């Protein structure tokens, strides 16, 4: 069987061989008649491909003769022709192999060469050879990819194939890719099947780094010269949310002044997200914020602007730390800190707190006494809390800084409630801000009283004048003492200092109203008894202990005309019989007698005037108006009545005047014996006393004459009309004649006041007289005697009976020229008195 099979195989093989042989024989025959030519494509017209005549072995002329021609089944494919002159086969039409044969490897054109005479048929095969006349070409010159940025390394992306119409070696041979960071090229396939390239991701993409990548892909063919074609690969990197937002700063530090108005922009935080679209859309919010800060700040979701929405107060919080979060669309978030430092603004005035106050403060508080303690505070900081404290001027207080922020208010001088009983002390605190703020408080401080002022009388000495014979209870003056102290410390009570006046308690003369200081007379005063006295009044306040002061009240009693003149000489009628002897030879103007009268009153009330109101022989005698001197008016003659009787009125100058009358008996005779009626002139009942009366009369007469002699002597000494001056009543009058009343006045001896003398002096006394008078103005004669040593007597230690002088003054109208004259006169008088 096997054998059979082999035999069969052998037979088939030999049959095949025979077929091949026959075919080869037949072909040879054909080939013998065939002409093969090879020509490259794209040859120009008339390009000689070969010489047919030569190949046929015939003369080229024969060809035209035999009408050689090329035939083709398809006339459109007639690319070659025969040149009959040369027998060349030439290109008739440029051949494009690619058009003719496309991608077929063998590209043959079949033609028939026809010869006539004899008809001969030859086959011409024209083989067209490829030349590299086409460059590789991409169908799309722009290749686009969208690759996710998270694509992993090694991922491949197939690229479009390039196309080259040429074949074989001239077809696509290789690809190359522009050098870049992310991709490499991997070429796949073979020449036969076609080659294509793949992009291989060699390094991860980052959209945030590069969104678009353009790469140039080049395809090369294998021809010579090589041709290439390019395409651009455009890669769009697709985003992945692979980036969190990033703040521009990790910490935003800003300073914000307190009291910034609402809406003030504090800071803009900004975060960027490299991603795009929703992945990169950042929104802001506070991620951690204290409650108080949440009331004050807000953040704009979109812009990241932080603004003020509340009142920023440095004193409440000095800084805020807020965490801000930036979040992208898909929730990736980052945080940053915003630190807001609040800057102090001087918006708080200093505060003054009165910690303690000693009110009222006694006026005797020693200098430096602490009155108040104040504390100053300022809630601002830095310079804004540097406080300066001051107090207004012109108050006796100052601020003493003590412990930090504490001041004590102390006195700087002694206080006196009586001058300033309260103070409004204004304390001002100013801080060091710019502009400064200040505040002030006023402390009302009272000064309390201390009994430090004794009552003070308005006047040092009070003088009160009261007319004698006053009604008891009359108010004579009022004293006032003031005490500036407060309430009972300044309440004044008046009282008399108990003393005695002439042995009588002062309280029986005067009383003082304790509250008003009005002094009342308790009894009726008699000027003739005493003319002035002094009392001391004490003003005492009600303090504890009380303070007091005293004043002297001099009470001057003024005279009233309550005493009639008293005739001293001649003795009043009925008591004694006085007869003056007048010499018959008496000439006109000679002094005959003198009426002497006194008035217990003083001044005008005691200024006496004498008038003859009735006389035996009117015109014979005249009386000096004020002297009381009776003088002969004319020479006495024998015819004149021997007995002359004169009634004389003595009147004082008071208002109304008081008067007394007396009778003067004058006997014109040179001899007592010639007086027959002398007996008649005596009184029987007084006989027993006759002797003494006679003695008195004799003494009187002799006194009179003595006086007369002195007068004459005085005239010698006096420059002017002195004789009458020296005839003084006081001198002439023996003290025995002085009435008891008169003597008593002298004895109790309160001197008249100058007030009394004022009236007196108007009658014509000279200045020198006044001086004299004034000298004893304030002195009281001691009760014990009529004589007194004048302490402030301008005449030195002269001793004088004032009433004598007064009498002298009443009667004289002579000028005492100088004090020496007066002195000598006074001494004369004194001498008399002492005797
Ligand atoms: C103090 O102030 C009060 C009220 O302001 C005022 O009545 C008083 O007179 C003042 N006192 C002095 C001493 O200025
Ligand atoms: C009077 O002064 C005394 C101290 O001398 C004092 O204690 C007292 O308070 C004062 N009285 C008044 C009413 O001020
Ligand atoms: C009167 O005051 C004086 C001094 O001012 C004093 O010496 C005298 O004692 C006071 N007299 C009386 C009674 O208070």
Distance 18 CA to ligand 2 centre (A): 174
Q: Mean pLDDT: which of 22-26, 226-230, 746-750 is highest? A: 226-230
Q: Which residues contact 363 (CB under 8 A, 6 or more apart)?
A: 414, 415, 416, 417, 418, 447, 448, 449, 450, 452
CB burial string 783-795: b at 16+ within 10 A, e below: eeebebebeebeb
Residue 635 φ/ψ region, left for φ over 0, alpha for ψ in the -120 to 50 degree band, beta for the rest: beta
Mean pLDDT (whole number) for 685-701: 68
DSSP state of 713: H
- CA neighbor of 161 nearest in space, from 138, 183, 144, 177: 138
- CA neighbor of 98 nearest in space, from 65, 129, 138: 129
Mean pLDDT (whole number) for 776-792: 36
Looking at all shown ligands, the one closest to residue 485's CA atom is 2
Mutate to test the pocket of ligand 1, among 416, 444, 447 (most ligand atoms within 8 A of CB): 444
Looking at all shown ligands, the one closest to residue 426's CA atom is 1
- CA neighbor of 75 nearest in space, from 99, 50, 92, 98: 92
Angle, alpha carbons 443-444-449 (nearest 5°): 135
User: Atom 2 in ligand 1: which residue has the minimum CA distance?
Assistant: 424
What is the structure's pLDDT at 732? 35
Residue 539 has pLDDT above 60, yes or no: yes
User: Atom 4 in ligand 2: which residue has the minimum CA distance?
Assistant: 450
Residues 388 and 370: their CA atoms lie apart, in Å, by 20
DSSP state of 339: E
Residues 453 and 467: their CA atoms lie apart, in Å, by 37
What is the structure's pLDDT at 742? 37
- CA neighbor of 717 nearest in space, from 590, 824, 831: 824
What is the structure's pLDDT at 518? 95
Cis peptide before 360 (omega within 30 of 0): yes
Residue 327 has pLDDT above 50, yes or no: yes
Using CA atoms, how far residue 833 sits from 384, 430, 737, 824, 827, in Å, is 101, 92, 13, 14, 10
Residues 297 and 288: their CA atoms lie apart, in Å, by 12
User: How does DSSP assign 102-164, residue by residue?
Assistant: TT-S--EEEEEEEETTTTEEEEEEEEEEP------EES-SEEEEEEETTPPTT-EEEPPPEE-
Mean pLDDT (whole number) for 696-705: 81
Q: How sure is the predictor about 112, in pLDDT bands with cuts at 50, 70 and 90?
A: confident
**Both tokens of residue 409?**
């208010």
Mean pLDDT (whole number) for 675-689: 48
Residue 475 has pLDDT above 70, yes or no: yes
DSSP state of 545: S
| Ligand 1 lined by 422 (C-beta under 6 Å) | yes
Residue 511 has pLDDT above 90, yes or no: yes
Residue 231 has pLDDT above 70, yes or no: yes
Mutate to test the pocket of ligand 1, among 422, 426, 447 (most ligand atoms within 8 A of CB): 422
Share of the chain above pLDDT 70, in %: 78
User: Atom 13 in ligand 3: which residue has the minimum CA distance?
Assistant: 497
Cβ distance 556 to 463 under 8 Å? yes
What is the structure's pLDDT at 758? 32
Distance 358 CA to ligand 2 centre (A): 16
Angle, alpha carbons 371-373-398 (nearest 5°): 60
Distance 507 CA to ligand 3 centre (A): 18
What is the structure's pLDDT at 255? 94
Helix (H, G, I), strand (E, B) or coil at 825: helix
Helix (H, G, I), strand (E, B) or coil at 632: strand
Tell me the pLDDT tens digit for each residue of 406-423.
Answer: 999 999 999 999 899 899
User: Atom 6 in ligand 1: which residue has the minimum CA distance?
Assistant: 424
Q: Which atom of ligand 2 lies nearest, measured to the CA of 487?
A: 13
Residues 443 and 441: their CA atoms lie apart, in Å, by 6
Cβ distance 173 to 206 under 8 Å? no
Looking at all shown ligands, the one closest to residue 487's CA atom is 2
The phi, psi pair for 81, rounded to 5°, reads -145, 175
What is the structure's pLDDT at 33? 67
Question: Which residues contact ligand 2 via a Cβ below 6 A?
Answer: 448-451, 486-489, 543
What is the structure's pLDDT at 676? 52
DSSP state of 222: S
Q: How sure is the predictor about 404, in pLDDT bands with cuts at 50, 70 and 90?
A: confident
Mean pLDDT (whole number) for 395-406: 91
Q: Which atom of ligand 1 lies nearest, measured to the CA of 420?
A: 13
Distance 489 CA to ligand 1 centre (A): 24
Distance 436 CA to ligand 1 centre (A): 28
What is the structure's pLDDT at 698? 82
- DSSP E strand stretches across 205-257: 212-221, 228-238, 246-247, 251-257
DSSP state of 528: T
Q: How sure is the predictor about 768, in pLDDT bands with cuts at 50, 70 and 90?
A: very low
User: Atom 7 in ligand 2: which residue has the minimum CA distance?
Assistant: 450
The phi, psi pair for 767, rounded to 5°, reads -55, -45
| Ligand 1 lined by 292 (C-beta under 6 Å) | no
DSSP state of 464: E
Using CA atoms, how far residue 541 sits from 452, 548, 628, in Å, is 10, 6, 60
Q: Does 406 or 275 have the greater pLDDT score?
A: 406
Find tokens 């014509």 and name the residue.
764
Residues 286 and 288: their CA atoms lie apart, in Å, by 6
Q: What is the CA radius of gyration of the chain?
A: 86
User: Atom 8 in ligand 2: which residue has the minimum CA distance?
Assistant: 450
What is the structure's pLDDT at 577? 58
Residue 639 has pLDDT above 80, yes or no: yes
Residues 300 and 665: their CA atoms lie apart, in Å, by 148
**Average pLDDT of the chain?**
79
Distance 543 CA to ligand 2 centre (A): 7
Share of the chain above pLDDT 90, in %: 32
Q: Dihedral through CA 114, CA 116, CA 121, CA 124, nearest 10?
A: -30
Distance 483 CA to ligand 2 centre (A): 13
Residue 805 has pLDDT above 70, yes or no: no
Tell me the pLDDT tens digit for each residue of 75-110.
Answer: 777 888 888 888 888 998 888 888 888 778 888 888
Residues 761 and 771: their CA atoms lie apart, in Å, by 11
Residues 138 and 368: their CA atoms lie apart, in Å, by 113
DSSP state of 168: G
Residue 689 has pLDDT above 80, yes or no: no
Cβ distance 730 to 627 under 8 Å? no
Q: Does 789 or 403 have the greater pLDDT score?
A: 403
Using CA atoms, how far residue 757 sits from 37, 317, 602, in Å, is 196, 97, 9
**Taking the model in full, what pTM does it have?**
0.48
Residue 495 has pLDDT above 90, yes or no: yes
Helix (H, G, I), strand (E, B) or coil at 746: helix
Mutate to test the pocket of ligand 1, among 360, 361, 415, 424 (most ligand atoms within 8 A of CB): 424
Q: Does 655 or 308 have the greater pLDDT score?
A: 308
Helices (H) and strands (E) in the chain, counts: 14, 53
User: Atom 11 in ligand 1: which residue has the minimum CA distance?
Assistant: 424
Looking at all shown ligands, the one closest to residue 551's CA atom is 3
3-state helix, strand, coil in the chain (%, to 5): 20, 35, 40
Q: Which residues contact 263 (CB under 8 A, 6 or more apart)?
A: 307, 308, 309
Residues 446 and 808: their CA atoms lie apart, in Å, by 69
Q: How sure is the predictor about 792, in pLDDT bands with cuts at 50, 70 and 90?
A: very low
Residue 827 has pLDDT above 80, yes or no: no
| Ligand 1 lined by 444 (C-beta under 6 Å) | yes
Of 332-336, 443-447, 718-722, the one with minimum mean pLDDT is 718-722
Using CA atoms, how far residue 620 sits from 216, 587, 589, 666, 736, in Å, is 189, 11, 10, 11, 31
The phi, psi pair for 591, rounded to 5°, reads -75, 125
Looking at all shown ligands, the one closest to residue 364's CA atom is 2
Q: How sure is the predictor about 822, in pLDDT bands with cuts at 50, 70 and 90?
A: low
Q: Which atom of ligand 2 lies nearest, measured to the CA of 489?
A: 1
What is the structure's pLDDT at 242? 83
Distance 501 CA to ligand 3 centre (A): 18
Q: Residues for the chain: how many in total?
A: 835
Q: How sure is the predictor about 239, in pLDDT bands with cuts at 50, 70 and 90?
A: confident
What is the structure's pLDDT at 337? 93
Tell me the pLDDT tens digit for each residue of 584-613.
Answer: 888 888 888 888 898 888 888 889 999 999
Question: Which residues contact ligand 3 via a Cβ below 6 A?
Answer: 497, 536, 538, 550
The gap from C-alpha 388 to its chain's centroid, in whole angstroms, comes to 11
Distance 442 CA to ligand 1 centre (A): 10
The phi, psi pair for 439, rounded to 5°, reads -145, 165
Q: Does 781 or 157 have the greater pLDDT score?
A: 157
User: CB atoms < 10 A from the CB of 632, how many?
Assistant: 21
DSSP state of 301: T
Question: How far separated are the first and last CA of the chain, in Å rounded?
Answer: 235
**Both tokens of residue 123?**
């086959």
Residue 355 has pLDDT above 90, yes or no: yes
Q: Does 243 or 805 have the greater pLDDT score?
A: 243
What is the structure's pLDDT at 675? 56
Tell me the pLDDT tens digit for each residue of 27-56.
Answer: 443 334 688 899 988 888 889 988 888 888
Distance 424 CA to ligand 1 centre (A): 6
Distance 552 CA to ligand 3 centre (A): 10
Distance 449 CA to ligand 2 centre (A): 5
What is the structure's pLDDT at 473? 92
The phi, psi pair for 679, rounded to 5°, reads -60, -40
Residues 807 and 598: their CA atoms lie apart, in Å, by 8
**Both tokens of residue 393?**
């001027």
What is the structure's pLDDT at 772? 32
Looking at all shown ligands, the one closest to residue 446's CA atom is 1
Residue 338 φ/ψ region, left for φ over 0, alpha for ψ in the -120 to 50 degree band, beta for the rest: beta
Burial class (CB in 10 A: 0-12, 13-18, 19+), 587: exposed
What is the structure's pLDDT at 755? 31
Tell me the pLDDT tens digit for each residue of 119-162.
Answer: 888 888 889 888 888 888 888 888 898 888 888 999 998 888 88
User: Atom 8 in ligand 3: which residue has the minimum CA distance?
Assistant: 550
Distance 541 CA to ligand 2 centre (A): 11
């Amino acid at each position: 069987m096997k054998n059979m099979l082999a035999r069969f195989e052998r037979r088939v093989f030999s049959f095949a061989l025979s077929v091949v042989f026959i075919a080869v024989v037949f072909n040879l025959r054909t080939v013998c008649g065939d002409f093969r030519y090879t020509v490259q494509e794209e040859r120009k017209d008339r390009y000689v491909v070969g010489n047919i005549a030569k190949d046929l072995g015939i003369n080229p002329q024969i060809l035209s003769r035999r009408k050689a021609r090329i035939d083709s089944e398809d006339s459109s494919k007639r690319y070659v022709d025969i040149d009959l002159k040369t027998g060349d086969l030439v290109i008739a039409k440029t051949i494009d192999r690619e058009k003719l044969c496309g991608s077929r490897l063998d590209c043959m054109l079949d033609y028939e060469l026809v010869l006539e005479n004899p008809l001969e048929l030859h086959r011409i095969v024209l083989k067209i050879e490829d030349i590299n006349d086409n460059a590789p070409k991409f169908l799309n010159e722009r290749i686009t990819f969208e690759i996710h940025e998270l694509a992993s390394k090694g991922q491949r992306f197939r690229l479009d194939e390039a196309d080259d119409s040429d074949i074989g070696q001239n077809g696509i041979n290789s690809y190359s890719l522009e050098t870049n960071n992310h991709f490499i090229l991997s070429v796949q396939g073979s020449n036969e099947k076609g080659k294509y390239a793949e992009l291989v991701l060699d390094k991860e993409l980052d959209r945030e780094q590069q969104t678009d990548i353009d790469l140039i892909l080049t395809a090369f063919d294998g021809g010579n010269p090589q041709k290439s074609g390019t395409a651009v690969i455009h890669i769009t990197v697709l985003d992945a949310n692979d980036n969190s937002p990033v703040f521009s700063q990790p910490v935003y530090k800003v300073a914000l002044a307190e009291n910034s108005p609402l809406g003030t922009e504090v800071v803009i935080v900004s975060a960027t997200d490299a991603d795009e679209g929703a992945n990169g859309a950042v929104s802001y919010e506070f991620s951690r914020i204290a409650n108080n800060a949440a009331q004050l700040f807000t953040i704009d979701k979109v812009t990241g602007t932080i603004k003020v929405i509340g009142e920023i107060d440095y004193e409440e919080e000095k800084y805020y730390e807020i965490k801000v979060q930036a979040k992208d669309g898909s929730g990736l978030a980052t945080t940053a800190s915003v630190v807001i430092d609040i800057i102090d603004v001087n918006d708080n005035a200093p505060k003054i707190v009165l910690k303690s106050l000693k009110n009222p403060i006694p006026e005797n508080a020693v200098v430096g006494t602490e009155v108040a303690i104040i504390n100053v505070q300022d809630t601002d900081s830095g310079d804004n809390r540097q406080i300066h404290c001051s107090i207004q001027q012109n108050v006796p207080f100052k601020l003493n800084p003590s412990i930090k922020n504490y001041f004590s208010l102390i006195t700087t001088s002694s206080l006196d409630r009586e001058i300033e009983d309260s103070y409004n002390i204004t304390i001002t605190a100013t801080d060091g801000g710019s502009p400064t703020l200040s505040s002030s408080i006023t402390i009302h401080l009272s000064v309390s009283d201390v009994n430090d002022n004794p009552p003070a009388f308005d006047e040092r000495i009070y003088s009160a004048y009261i007319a004698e014979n006053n009604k008891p209870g009359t108010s004579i003056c009022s004293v006032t003492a003031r005490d500036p102290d407060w309430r009972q410390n300044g309440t004044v009570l008046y009282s008399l200092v108990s003393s005695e006046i002439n042995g009588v308690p002062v309280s029986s003369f005067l009383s003082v109203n304790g509250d008003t200081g009005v002094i009342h007379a308790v009894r009726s005063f008699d000027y003739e008894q005493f003319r002035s006295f002094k009392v001391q009044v004490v003003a005492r306040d009600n303090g504890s202990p009380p303070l007091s002061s005293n004043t002297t009240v001099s009470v001057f009693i003024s005279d009233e005309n309550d005493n009639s003149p008293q005739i001293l000489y001649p003795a009043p009628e009925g008591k004694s019989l006085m007869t003056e002897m007048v010499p018959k030879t008496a000439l006109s103007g000679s002094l005959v007698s003198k009426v002497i009268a006194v008035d217990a009153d003083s001044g005008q009330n005691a200024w006496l005037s004498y008038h003859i109101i009735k006389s035996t022989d009117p015109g014979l005698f005249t009386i000096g108006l004020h002297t009381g001197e009776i003088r002969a008016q004319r020479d006495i003659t024998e015819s004149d009545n021997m007995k002359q009787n004169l009634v004389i009125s003595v009147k004082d100058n008071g208002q109304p005047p008081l008067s007394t009358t007396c009778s003067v008996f004058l006997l014109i005779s040179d001899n007592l014996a010639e007086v027959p009626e002398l007996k008649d002139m005596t009184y029987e009942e007084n006989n027993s006393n006759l002797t003494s009366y006679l003695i008195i009369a004799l003494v009187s007469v002799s006194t009179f004459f003595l006086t007369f002699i002195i007068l004459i002597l005085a005239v010698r000494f006096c420059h002017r009309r002195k004789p009458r001056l020296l005839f003084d009543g006081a001198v002439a009058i023996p003290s025995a004649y002085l009435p008891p009343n008169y003597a008593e006045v002298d004895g109790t001896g309160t001197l008249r006041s100058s007030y009394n003398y004022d009236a007196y002096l108007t009658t014509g006394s000279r200045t020198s007289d006044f001086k004299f008078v004034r000298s004893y103005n304030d002195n009281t004669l001691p009760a014990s005697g009529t004589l007194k040593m004048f302490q402030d007597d301008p005449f030195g230690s002269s001793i004088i009976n004032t009433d004598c002088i007064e009498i002298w003054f009443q009667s004289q109208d002579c000028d005492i020229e100088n004090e020496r004259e007066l002195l000598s006169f006074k001494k004369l008088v004194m001498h008399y008195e002492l005797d």
